[in-house]
A = this chain, B = another copy of it.
């Protein structure tokens, strides 16, 4: 904190800006506001949690904090998995639950304009009557749009629709100086200066605070169907994926689930898919494909084609699931994080590799696991190479070595440390250790262009 400002001065100034009821301090701070959902974080109680109700308030709060050199951590719903929403000691949390309005559903341009605290569930409920959908389903529908922007959230439908980066077209952004910028807008393309929207997406709250999000909407296709196939090896699973994609059926979901995760996930939601025991005993991996279309006939045709390809690729069996079972399976898969947590996983990571590299990458992960006395199980987005691994290794030092090897192997395969969770505080050290120093230096210069005093989320991503 700057020497001329005391904590009390700052708190008094903040109360003046947002009102008494919108500033919480000390014991009054809710436990939930002291952490996100990363398994490894230590909760931190900040100096204060501030809940602004307008962009003007956010700007003034940020300006005051920047002037006082007090760190600011943005908080959406707190469902992140990287520690990026964990407060800094002595810092402020700017929580966006009082800015959670859907400002506009534009049915002509197929866009929505929302405040950052709006949740995915809230948005999609509002869109349903219009026959539209916001297609980012990161597996946690209580996640906020602001948080989704910060982490570039992805999820199972990314193989068809892409991730947050592909849906968000405009932002209102507050810089630490208190300046308010509008980037992009209701246009799906523009070459008119650097794309600040894209730069901020995935920046984990380190460049600016997002106070408004403009995002694309898509037609809600009414017909969908799920195909499930057990395979003897993971290689066979991933070999069939390019075929399915190239066929032109445009699958909405292409997931692999290893046998351990399948057993745990279906047990967690008490789901019986009717798979014979002898198949369950020998199937090492499952492929799940969901197709959607505008007519029931097309879904049927596409499902038949996908099933044929799977059978030809050596599936032990192919099940076209009834609608409810299909939805339940996807639901079980979405709960993979909670399943892993319930089963005592010590960490959960989401390395991304080129999708064809999944088998060789997972073989390498197995070696790393067995070589270190750890246990690693997983599932992931086979359509886009995003591998979600539950790591069971209680010793933090050993676990760090395991993660270093797991991350390095992913990067060596042409991938990245995280596909959609982000780096946050928890992977920051390994990110800095494993990334080209020239690239890190450039990122630091970019950070300084937005946030010269390092006010925003220190300790996340960069130092």
CB contacts under 8 Å to B, within A279-328, are 293-294, 298
A155-172 interface bits toward B, Cβ cutoff 8 Å, 1 = contact, 0 = none: 000100011011000000
Please state if B439 and A187 are interface contacts (CB–CB under 8 Å).
Answer: no
CB proximity of A182 to chain B, nearest CB, Å: 7
Please state if B110 and A443 are interface contacts (CB–CB under 8 Å).
Answer: no
- The CA-CA distance from A461 to B193 in the complex, in Å, is 7
Please state if B248 and A185 are interface contacts (CB–CB under 8 Å).
Answer: no
Q: Name A435's contact: one of B108, B193, B201 (CB within 8 Å).
A: B193
A187-203 interface bits toward B, Cβ cutoff 8 Å, 1 = contact, 0 = none: 11111111110110111
Instruction: Name the B residues within 8 Å of A337 (CB-CB).
Output: none
Please state if A192 and B242 are interface contacts (CB–CB under 8 Å).
Answer: no
Instruction: Name the B residues within 8 Å of A219 (CB-CB).
Output: 245-248
Q: Which of A154, A185, A440 has the most CB of B within 10 A?
A: A185
The stretch of A26-34, A85-93, A446-454 in contact with B is: A446-454
A353 CB-CB contact with B under 8 Å: yes
Q: Name A185's contact: one of B188, B202, B416, B438 (CB within 8 Å).
A: B416
Copies of this protein chain in the complex: 2
Please state if A449 and B445 are interface contacts (CB–CB under 8 Å).
Answer: yes
Q: Name A199's contact: one of B198, B294, B416 (CB within 8 Å).
A: B198
Instruction: Name the B residues within 8 Å of A191 (CB-CB).
Output: 151-152, 202, 204, 416, 418-423
Q: Name A154's contact: one of B107, B189, B294, B418 (CB within 8 Å).
A: B189
Instruction: Name the B residues within 8 Å of A196 (CB-CB).
Output: 439, 442-443
A115 CB-CB contact with B under 8 Å: no
A111 CB-CB contact with B under 8 Å: yes
Please state if B449 and A446 are interface contacts (CB–CB under 8 Å).
Answer: yes
- The CA-CA distance from A293 to B295 in the complex, in Å, is 14
Please state if B423 and A109 are interface contacts (CB–CB under 8 Å).
Answer: no
Instruction: Name the B residues within 8 Å of A419 (CB-CB).
Output: 187, 189-191
Knowing A194-B199, A221-B248, say if A356 contacts B108 (CB, 8 Å).
yes
Instruction: Name the B residues within 8 Å of A152 (CB-CB).
Output: 189, 191, 195
A369 CB-CB contact with B under 8 Å: no
CB proximity of A195 to chain B, nearest CB, Å: 6
Please state if A193 and B423 are interface contacts (CB–CB under 8 Å).
Answer: yes
Instruction: Name the B residues within 8 Å of A438 (CB-CB).
Output: 175, 179, 181
A431 CB-CB contact with B under 8 Å: yes
Chain B residue at minimal CB-CB distance from A447: B194
A355 CB-CB contact with B under 8 Å: yes
Instruction: Name the B residues within 8 Å of A249 (CB-CB).
Output: 294
Please state if A442 and B181 are interface contacts (CB–CB under 8 Å).
Answer: yes
CB contacts under 8 Å to B, within A391-447, are 414-423, 431, 435-436, 438-440, 442-443, 445-447
CB proximity of A387 to chain B, nearest CB, Å: 11
A386 CB-CB contact with B under 8 Å: yes
Instruction: Name the B residues within 8 Å of A221 (CB-CB).
Output: 248
- The CA-CA distance from A442 to B200 in the complex, in Å, is 13
CB proximity of A391 to chain B, nearest CB, Å: 18
- The CA-CA distance from A192 to B439 in the complex, in Å, is 12
- The CA-CA distance from A249 to B175 in the complex, in Å, is 41
CB proximity of A19 to chain B, nearest CB, Å: 27
- The CA-CA distance from A108 to B235 in the complex, in Å, is 13
A203-238 interface bits toward B, Cβ cutoff 8 Å, 1 = contact, 0 = none: 110010000000000010100000000000000000
Chain B residue at minimal CB-CB distance from A186: B354
Instruction: Name the B residues within 8 Å of A352 (CB-CB).
Output: 187, 189-190
Instruction: Name the B residues within 8 Å of A417 (CB-CB).
Output: 192
Chain B residue at minimal CB-CB distance from A238: B108
Instruction: Name the B residues within 8 Å of A435 (CB-CB).
Output: 192-193
- The CA-CA distance from A103 to B444 in the complex, in Å, is 32
A257 CB-CB contact with B under 8 Å: no
Chain B residue at minimal CB-CB distance from A421: B191
Which chain A residues have a beta carbon within 8 Å of chain B's beta carbons? 106-111, 131-132, 151-152, 154, 158, 162-163, 165-166, 175, 179, 181-183, 185-196, 198-199, 201-204, 207, 219, 221, 242, 245-249, 293-294, 298, 352-356, 384-386, 414-423, 431, 435-436, 438-440, 442-443, 445-450, 461
6 A-B pairs with least C-beta separation: A248-B294, A445-B449, A108-B356, A198-B198, A186-B354, A190-B416
